[in-house]
Amino acid sequence: MGCHRHSRMGYDPQDRFGDCGRPWKPLEIFAMVLGFIVFWPIGLAIVLFKVWQRKFGYEGDLFAFAQERAADVQARWNEASGRQSGRSSGGWRGPGFMRSSGNVAFDDWRESELARLEEERRKLAEAEREFAEHIEELRRARDRAEFESFMRARRDREQPQG
Task: State what percent of residues in the chain have pLDDT above 70.
Answer: 73
Give the highest mean pLDDT range of 2-6, 84-88, 109-113.
109-113
**Mean pLDDT of all residues in 50-57:** 76
Over residues 28-46, the pLDDT tens digits come to 788 888 888 888 888 888 8
36's CB contacts (< 8 A; 6+ apart) are: 42, 43, 44
Could you tell me which residue, 100 or 129, shows the higher pLDDT? 129
Q: Is 7 within 8 Å of 20 (Cβ atoms)? A: no
**In the prediction, which pLDDT does 142 show?**
96
- How many residues does the structure list for the chain? 162
Which tens digit of pLDDT belongs to each residue from 133-152? 999 999 999 999 999 999 99
DSSP 73-123: HHHHHHHHHHIIIIISS-S---TTTT---S-HHHHHHHHHHHHHHHHHHHH
Write out pLDDT tens, residues 88-127: 444 444 445 567 778 899 989 999 999 999 999 999 999 9
Phi, psi angles (nearest 5°) of residue 7: -75, 175
